[in-house]
C-alpha cells in the first residue's frame, strides 16, 4: 500500500513537471532564422569582386606538410597578398617569421588590442574534383578549390576589410593585429612563434577572433536556417597507441588471447561501453537555449526546458548526433592498426592508434588515465605520441563575448548568435596564454556542401556571403575601437 502511494506520488509529480514544461513551451515564441546574404545589385557587385580576389588566393597552392616547411613557396604567396592588398602591406608594420605573418595596425589607444587571425596553408587535395582543386574557378555562385572555405576566405575577409578602411583614411580606435600562420593544418610551430613575438612585445589582446565556428546552416537536425555558431573553447587532443605483445608463432596453431584478439576485445569494449563521463557544460546549455525557439515543438519542449530534460539529453545526444554528443564527453576514435606481415604468421606485436579529444570536466590527465586503465585489463601497453589539454572557455556572460554577438547582430540582421564547442583544433589554442577571450568564428556561410568539402573533395564557398565577411571584420574593428 505504501509503495503504491509512493509510485503514484512520483507519477503525479512527473505529470506536474511535464505540464509545467508544456506551458513554458507554449508560451515560448517560435522564431524563424531569416538571415540570408544581401542580394542587392551593389552587394552583388562587391561579392563578385571579392570572389575574384579569393580565386587568385586559391590558385596559389599553399599545401603544408609536417616537417616539410617550404618557406620559399609561402613567400611567393605573400607576394600575391601584397599585390591584392597593397595598402595593407605599405601602411601596416609587417613581421614575417618563417612564413608566418603578423601585421600591426597602430590605433589611437593601445589598452585593448584586437587580433584577427586565420591560416594561409591548406591540406592536400586528393580524389576526383568537379573543378580542379587549385583552379579557383568561379562557377554556380561559388569559388571552387582547396582553401576556398578553409580558410583563405576569412584571410581575404580581414585583409580586404583593412584595405578598404585604409582607403578612406580610417585609424582604428585600438591597436589591431592580423595574424596568419602557414603551419596550422599540421599543428606546426607557426602560430606559437607569432604568439611568442607578441609576448616579447608585451601585447595582451583584449579579443582574438579565429576560424572554427561560422555561420552554419541547419546546425542540428530540426533546427533550420543560418546561425552564427561562435566557438568559445576547443577540446584538447591526443594521439595514442595501444600495443599487444606475444611470442608469435604459426597461424595453424593459434594460442588464445592473441595480440589482435585482445586489441579487438579492447576496441569493442570501448566502442560499446565508453568509459568517459557525459556532462552538459554551461556553454552547451546556452547553445540549446539559444536554438530552442527555432526548432519544432518537440525540440522547443526539450531544449527550452533543460531543467527537466537535461538528464535525458545527456543520455541520448550521442545516439542522435555524433557532433552534439562529442560536446558532452571525451571521445576516442580508433584510426590506425598494424599486425603481422603475413596471413599465416601470428604477430609478436600488434597495435591500434587512436585520436582522443578531451572535455573540460574530464581533462587530458584524467582521460588518459581512464583509457590506460581500461587498456591494462586486456594486457595492452599504451603510449602517448602527443597530447594537449582543452583551452580555457571564453566567459559567455563577459563583455568580450557580448561584443562579438553584438557585432554579429549589427552585421547580419536576423542572424542568431550562439556559443559553440569546438570539437576540432585550431591555431587559436596558442593564444589562450596571452588572451582571456579567444573566439572561433569565421563570418562566412557553411552549408552542408561546404562542410563536406572541407578537407574533402570539391571544396567551395558561396561568394554571395563574402561582403558580410568583410563587413563583420570592419564592424568588429570599429566596436573594439570604441571601448
* Buried/exposed 101-112: b ≥16 CB within 10 Å, e otherwise: bbbbbebeeeeb
Question: pLDDT at position 286, please?
Answer: 94
The verdict on residue 28 lying in a domain is no
- On whether both 375 and 402 belong to a single domain, the answer is no
* 449: CB partners within 8 A, 6+ apart: 458, 460
Domain assignment present for residue 355? The answer is yes
Query: Are 252 and 281 contained in the same domain?
Result: yes
For residue 1, give the C-alpha cell.
500500500
Beta bridge partners of 101: 96, 180
Q: Residues 34-47: pLDDT tens digits?
A: 899 988 888 899 99
- Domain CATH code at residue 223: 3.40.630.10
Both 369 and 408 in one domain: the answer is no
Among 388, 412, 430, identify where a domain stops: 388
What is the per-residue pLDDT for 9? Answer: 66
Predicted local confidence at residue 225, as pLDDT? 94
Residues 118 and 92 in one domain: yes
One domain, residues 80 and 120: yes
Comparing 3-17, 92-106, 290-304, the range with the smallest average pLDDT is 3-17
In a domain, 121, yes or no: yes
**Lowest mean pLDDT: which of 180-189, 316-325, 371-380?**
316-325
Model pLDDT, residue 227: 96
Tens-place pLDDT, residues 230-262 = 999 999 999 999 999 988 877 777 878 889 999
Percent residues over pLDDT 90 in the chain: 80
| Total domains present in the chain | 2
Same domain, 201 and 189: yes
Q: Cβ(427)–Cβ(186) under 8 Å?
A: no
11: its cell numbers: 507519477
Residue 34 lies in a domain: no
Mark whether 101 and 212 lie in a shared domain: yes
- Residue 475, pLDDT above cutoff 80: yes
The pLDDT assigned to 340 comes to: 86
Contacts of 294 (CB under 8 A, 6+ apart): 30, 31, 32, 33, 223, 224, 225, 227, 416
* 384-426 pLDDT tens trace: 999 999 999 999 999 999 999 999 999 999 899 999 998 888 9
Q: Does residue 35 form part of some domain? A: no
Res. 78: pLDDT tops 90: yes
**Measured distance CA(181)–CA(190) in Å, rounded:** 5
140 shares a domain with 197: yes
Greater confidence, 342 or 328?
A: 328
Return contacts of 295-301, CB within 8 angstroms, 24+ apart: 295/220, 295/222, 295/223, 296/222, 297/25, 298/222, 299/222, 299/223, 300/25, 300/28, 300/30, 301/21, 301/22, 301/25
Q: Give yes or no for residue 13 having a pLDDT over 80.
A: no
3 state DSSP class of 366: helix
313 Cα distance to chain centroid: 22
User: What tens digit of pLDDT does each residue of 436-465 get?
Assistant: 999 999 999 999 999 999 999 999 999 999
Domain boundary among 388, 413, 440: 388
Classify residue 151: in a domain, yes or no: yes
Q: Are residues 125 and 145 in the same domain?
A: yes
The model's confidence at residue 344, banded by pLDDT at 50, 70 and 90, is: confident
Domain identity same for 200 and 102:
yes
- Residues, the chain: 483
pLDDT in tens, 266-318: 999 999 999 999 999 999 999 999 999 999 999 999 999 999 999 999 988 88
With residue 389 as reference, give the H or E element that holds it. none
Residue 31 lies in a domain: no
Confidence tier at 5 by pLDDT (50, 70, 90): low
Query: Looking at per-residue confidence, does 383 or 39 come out higher?
Result: 383
What is the domain-level CATH number for residue 371?
Answer: 3.30.70.360
Check whether residue 363 and residue 415 sit in a common domain. no
The Cα–Cα gap between 184 and 101 comes to 13
pLDDT number for residue 14 = 78
Q: Is the peptide bond before 97 cis (omega within 30 degrees of 0)?
A: no
- Tell me the CA end-to-end span of the chain in Å, nearest whole number: 67
Domain range for residue 477? Answer: 41-233+392-481
Q: Of 388, 416, 449, which residue constitutes the final position of a domain? A: 388
* 186 and 241 assigned to the same domain: no
User: What rounded mean pLDDT belongs to the chain?
Assistant: 93
- In this prediction, residue 68 carries a pLDDT of 82
> Can you say whether residue 226 is alpha, beta or left, with left for phi > 0 and alpha for psi between -120 and 50 degrees?
beta
Beta strands in 342-459 (DSSP E): 345-346, 349-358, 381-388, 416-422, 438-446
Inform me whether the pLDDT recorded for 1 exceeds 70.
Answer: no
Instruction: Kindly state whether residue 150 falls inside one of the protein's structural domains.
Output: yes
How does pLDDT run across 208-237, given as a tens digit for each residue? Answer: 999 999 999 998 888 999 999 999 999 999
Amino acid at each position: 500500500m505504501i509503495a503504491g502511494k509512493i509510485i503514484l506520488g512520483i507519477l503525479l509529480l512527473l505529470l506536474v513537471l511535464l505540464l509545467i514544461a508544456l506551458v513554458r513551451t507554449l508560451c515560448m515564441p517560435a522564431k524563424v532564422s531569416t538571415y540570408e546574404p544581401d542580394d542587392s545589385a551593389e552587394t552583388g557587385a562587391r561579392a563578385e569582386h571579392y570572389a575574384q580576389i579569393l580565386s587568385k588566393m586559391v590558385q596559389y597552392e599553399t599545401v603544408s606538410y609536417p616537417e616539410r616547411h617550404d618557406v620559399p613557396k609561402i613567400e611567393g604567396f605573400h607576394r600575391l597578398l601584397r599585390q591584392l592588398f597593397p595598402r595593407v602591406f605599405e601602411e601596416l608594420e609587417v613581421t614575417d617569421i618563417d612564413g608566418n605573418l603578423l601585421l600591426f595596425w597602430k590605433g589611437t589607444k593601445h589598452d585593448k588590442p584586437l587580433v584577427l587571425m586565420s591560416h594561409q596553408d591548406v591540406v592536400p587535395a586528393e580524389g576526383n574534383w568537379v573543378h580542379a582543386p587549385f583552379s579557383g574557378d568561379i562557377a554556380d555562385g561559388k569559388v571552387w578549390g582547396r582553401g576556398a572555405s578553409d580558410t583563405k576566405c576569412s584571410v581575404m575577409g580581414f585583409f580586404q576589410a583593412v584595405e578598404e578602411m585604409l582607403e578612406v583614411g580610417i585609424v582604428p580606435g585600438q591597436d589591431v593585429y592580423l595574424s596568419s600562420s602557414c603551419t596550422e593544418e599540421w599543428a606546426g610551430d607557426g602560430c606559437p612563434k607569432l604568439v611568442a613575438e607578441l609576448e616579447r612585445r608585451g601585447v595582451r589582446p583584449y579579443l582574438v577572433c579565429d576560424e572554427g565556428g561560422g555561420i552554419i546552416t541547419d546546425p542540428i537536425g530540426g533546427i533550420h536556417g543560418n546561425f552564427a555558431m561562435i566557438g568559445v573553447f576547443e577540446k584538447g587532443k591526443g594521439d595514442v597507441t595501444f600495443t599487444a605483445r606475444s611470442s608469435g608463432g604459426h597461424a595453424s596453431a593459434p594460442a588464445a588471447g592473441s595480440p589482435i584478439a585482445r586489441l579487438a576485445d579492447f576496441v569493442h569494449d570501448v566502442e560499446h561501453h565508453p568509459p568517459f563521463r557525459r556532462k552538459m557544460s554551461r556553454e552547451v546549455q546556452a547553445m540549446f537555449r539559444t536554438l530552442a525557439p527555432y526548432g519544432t515543438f518537440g525540440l522547443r519542449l526539450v531544449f527550452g526546458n533543460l531543467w527537466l530534460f537535461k538528464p535525458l539529453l545527456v543520455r541520448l545526444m550521442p545516439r542522435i548526433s555524433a557532433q552534439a554528443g562529442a560536446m558532452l564527453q571525451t571521445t576516442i576514435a580508433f584510426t590506425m592498426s598494424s599486425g603481422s606481415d603475413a596471413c599465416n604468421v601470428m604477430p609478436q606485436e600488434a597495435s591500434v592508434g587512436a585520436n582522443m579529444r578531451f572535455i573540460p570536466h574530464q581533462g587530458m590527465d584524467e582521460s588518459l588515465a581512464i583509457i590506460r586503465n581500461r587498456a591494462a585489463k586486456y594486457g595492452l601497453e599504451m603510449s602517448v605520441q602527443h597530447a594537449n589539454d582543452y583551452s580555457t572557455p571564453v566567459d559567455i556572460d563577459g563583455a568580450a563575448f557580448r561584443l562579438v554577438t553584438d557585432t554579429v547582430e549589427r552585421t547580419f540582421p536576423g542572424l542568431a548568435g550562439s556559443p559553440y564547442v569546438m570539437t576540432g583544433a585550431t591555431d587559436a589554442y596558442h593564444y589562450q596564454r596571452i588572451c582571456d577571450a579567444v573566439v572561433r568564428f569565421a563570418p562566412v556561410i557553411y552549408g552542408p556542401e561546404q562542410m563536406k568539402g572541407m578537407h574533402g573533395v570539391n571544396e567551395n564557398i558561396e561568394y554571395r556571403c563574402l561582403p558580410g565577411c568583410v563587413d563583420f571584420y570592419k564592424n568588429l574593428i570599429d566596436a573594439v575601437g570604441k571601448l
